[in-house]
Chain A
Amino acid sequence: MAGDSNEASRLWRILRTTKQMCYDRGYELTEEECNISLADFKAAYVDESGTVHRQRLAFYARPTPEMQKKYTPLPRPGNPDPAPDIGTIHVDFSSQPSVGIKDLKAFAQLLNEKNYHTGIFVAQAAPTSSALKIIPSILPTVMEIFKEEDLLVNISRHELVPKHTLLSPEDKKRLLERYRLKETQLPRIRMDDPMARYLGLKRGQVVKIIRKSETAGRYASYRWVI
Chain B
Amino acid sequence: MAMNPTAPHLLIVEDGLHAHIEPSQSQGMATRVPVKSILKTQPKPASPTPNPEALQAEKDRHNYALALQHAHRIQDQKDWDLRILHAIEALLDYPSSTPVTAQEANNFVGLPSDLDALVEERVIDRKCGYALCANKPRCVTMGREAEWRVGKGEAGFCSKLCTRKSMGVRAQLSVVPAWEREAGYHPVISLHEDDSAVVAGRQSVALGISAVAKSPSTVAAKTKHVDDDDLALERGEKARSFRPRQVMTDRIVEKALPTYKPLSSVSGALVSSTAIEGYEPREHKTKTDGRGDNAESDDDDDEDDRAGALDEDDEG
Contact = CB atoms under 8 A, between A and B. Distances in A.
A95 to B, nearest CB: 13
Contacts of B88: 101, 130
B85 A100 contact: no
Given A99-B124, A100-B121, A128-B117, 7 more contacts: A100-B120, A100-B125, A101-B89, A130-B88, A133-B81, A133-B85, A134-B85
A98 B121 CA distance: 10
B79 to A, nearest CB: 11
Interface of A: 96, 98-102, 105, 128-131, 133-134, 137
Contacts of A133: 81-82, 85
A133 B118 CA distance: 13
Contacts of B120: 100, 128, 130
Contacts of A129: 117
14 contacts: A96-B124, A98-B124, A100-B124, A100-B125, A101-B89, A105-B89, A128-B117, A128-B120, A128-B124, A129-B117, A130-B114, A130-B117, A130-B118, A137-B82
A130 B117 CA distance: 7
Interface of B: 81-82, 85, 88-89, 92, 114, 117-118, 120-121, 124-125
Nearest to B121: A100
Contacts of B125: 100, 102
Nearest to B114: A130
Nearest to A129: B117
A133 B92 CA distance: 15
Contacts of B82: 133, 137
Contacts of B92: 101-102
Contacts of A100: 120-121, 124-125
A128 B121 CA distance: 8
A201 to B, nearest CB: 23
Nearest to B122: A100
B121 to A, nearest CB: 5
B217 to A, nearest CB: 32
Nearest to A100: B124
Contacts of B118: 130
A103 B8 CA distance: 93
Nearest to B78: A136
**Which 7 residue pairs across A and B have the least CB separation, nearest first?**
A100-B124, A130-B117, A100-B121, A98-B124, A133-B85, A101-B121, A128-B120
Contact of B121 (A96, A130, A137): A130
A131 to B, nearest CB: 8
A130 B88 CA distance: 9
Contacts of A128: 117, 120-121, 124
Nearest to A96: B124
Contacts of B81: 133
Nearest to B89: A101
B272 to A, nearest CB: 87
A15 to B, nearest CB: 25
A94 to B, nearest CB: 12
B277 to A, nearest CB: 82
Nearest to A97: B124
A98 B81 CA distance: 23
B238 to A, nearest CB: 59
B177 to A, nearest CB: 15
Contacts of A105: 89
Nearest to B124: A100
Contacts of A102: 92, 121, 124-125
B57 to A, nearest CB: 21
A96 B125 CA distance: 11
Q: Which of A99, A101, A129 has the most CB of B within 10 A?
A: A101
